[in-house]
Amino acid sequence: MLTKRIVPCLDIKDGRTVKGVNFVDLRDAGDPVTLAKQYAELGADELVFLDITATKEKRRTLHDMVLKVAEQVNIPFTVGGGISSVEDVDDLLHCGADKVSINSAAVKRPELINELSAKFGSQCVVVAIDAKQIEGEWFVHLAGGSIPTNIKLFDWAKEVEQRGAGEILFTSMNHDGTKAGFANKALAKLSELVNIPIIASGGAGTMQHFADTFKEGKADAALAASVFHFGEIAIRDLKEVLKNQDIPVRL
Amino acid sequence: MDLKIIDYGAGNIKSIQFAFQRLGIDAILSSNPEDIISAEKVIFPGVGEASSAMKKLKDSGLDKVIPQLTQPVLGICLGMQLMCNHSEEGNTQGLGIFDVDVKKFKNDVKVPQMGWNVIKNLKSELFENINEGDYMYLVHSYYAEICPEAIATTDYKIEYASALQKENFYGVQFHPEKSGLIGEQLLKNFINL
């Protein structure tokens, strides 16, 4: 049986992890490669690296990091942040990334999804959608959730699937950072609407939140950052809890 | 160990090279038929769409070379699918090494299947020190049907062949290079064949 995936997300700036990480005694917790290896050993199913480096000149640093991660880590990983062209993706895949995640660039130019899936295959194209619920309706937001659009979440999700996305990473801006649980109603609706895997993001606070997003939210994977980085939730313990609730996990 | 990875411009070969590097083995990319024929072991990778990958193989003449290889050959993911008779993806005629067809998953499951799933009914030295029910990482929309050449099966609503073997030819639908320690064990086993 296909298992539900637990996905730690690492924010990267200038080739280093941004937020402090204190769940293990690492000599260099700012080194993404050390951290990625550690997470792989602790039972993470996949990793996401989100590059928040502002300048184009620093892309080389990101490429070096991706190359090192690919060299040393034996589980799949996705790279996202600032990707806007076929060339960007070509570079990252050549460095050994398994998947790339595109967000604002896809909203600005949806054909990019078609181009990427035609050239590299749907399996490596993750479309990240940040959305906020305003008066009952979900709207897509850009630039890390700061710029609203009039695009409706469910219309956009359907469109990205039709254009060839292999997976959707959905972040609820209403839930992100709250530690009060994932946006399970919207997630369940997404899962019914499209036939590609959905990664739930935003709101993880407790182990039960993960169980809820797999059961009620019908998510295929759940992504979180701080609960893992600060040692609030250990991945093995989380998987035991999920298993006890009959949720299939890799242990 | 003279290990060659067939390079025909289809997919992310880097992770396979790195996986062997972690085992201390220098895997060399090659599109040269002579080098591939003389190698001790051969990896036939592949990611992407079947008909365009098959076209690239034909353009390079490698479609004639691969079926004649006599050393251990391991097809991975699309590589394995191209070693079968026929694929529904792009209505593609395969190399016909494995006597089985490749079909698309129905819409009663999420497509692609993406993530870690169990391998079972293991019957090959390729699975030495790997247990029934161990997990491998898979990403695919098409699958090989159950057949006599199946050496592992996996359930995704239906049961399908997740690994195949005929004589010196091996094929795996999963990505051993991305499947943690179990995947590493499989690559070691292939090297030790």
With beta carbons under 8 A apart, name residues in chain B contacting A5.
Answer: 115-116
Selection from B174, B192, B61, B191 nearest residue B114 by Cα: B174
Residue A91 at interface with chain B, using a CB cutoff of 8 Å = no
Predicted confidence at residue B46, as pLDDT, reads 85
Q: Quick check: helix, strand or coil at residue A215?
A: helix
Using the Cβ of A94 and the Cβ atoms of chain B, whether some distance falls under 8 Å is answered with yes
- Mutation for testing the A interface, residue in B14, B89, B114, B131 having most A CBs under 10 Å: B114
Ordered domains of chain B (ranges, CATH): 3-192 (3.40.50.880)
Catalytic residues of B: 77, 175, 177
Cα angle, residue B133 at apex, residues A204 and A73 outer, rounded to 5°? 55
How far apart CA A135 and CA A52 sit, in angstroms, is 30
Q: pLDDT tens, position by position, for chain A (251 residues)?
A: 999 999 999 998 888 887 655 555 555 668 899 999 999 999 999 999 999 875 666 778 899 999 999 999 999 999 999 899 999 999 999 899 999 999 999 999 999 999 999 888 899 999 999 999 999 999 999 987 788 999 999 999 999 999 999 999 999 999 998 999 999 999 999 999 999 999 999 999 999 999 999 999 999 999 999 899 888 999 999 999 999 999 999 99
Q: Which amino acid is at A115?
A: E
pLDDT value for A229: 87
pLDDT of amino acid A23 = 55
Q: What is the spatial distance between Cα B122 and Cα B73, in angstroms, rounded to a whole number?
A: 18
**Alpha carbons B105 and B165: distance in angstroms, whole number:** 22
Conformational region of residue A27, where left means phi above 0, alpha means psi within -120 to 50, and beta covers everything else: alpha
| pLDDT of amino acid A13 | 86
- Cα angle B182, B185, B191 (rounded to 5 degrees) comes to 150
Domains recognised in chain A with CATH numbers: 5-244 (3.20.20.70)
Distance between CA atoms of residues A42 and A35, nearest Å: 10
Contact check, Cβ <8 Å, B178/A76? yes
Residue B36 has pLDDT above 80, yes or no: yes
Instruction: Decide if A221 touches B, using CB distance below 8 A.
Output: yes
- Residues with Cβ within 8 Å of A211's Cβ and at least 6 positions away in sequence, in order, are A241, A242, A245, A247
The C-alpha torsion from A71 through A75 and A76 to A77, rounded to 10°, is -70
The CA-atom distances, in angstroms, between A162 and each of A121, A127, B103, B114 are 14, 12, 21, 18
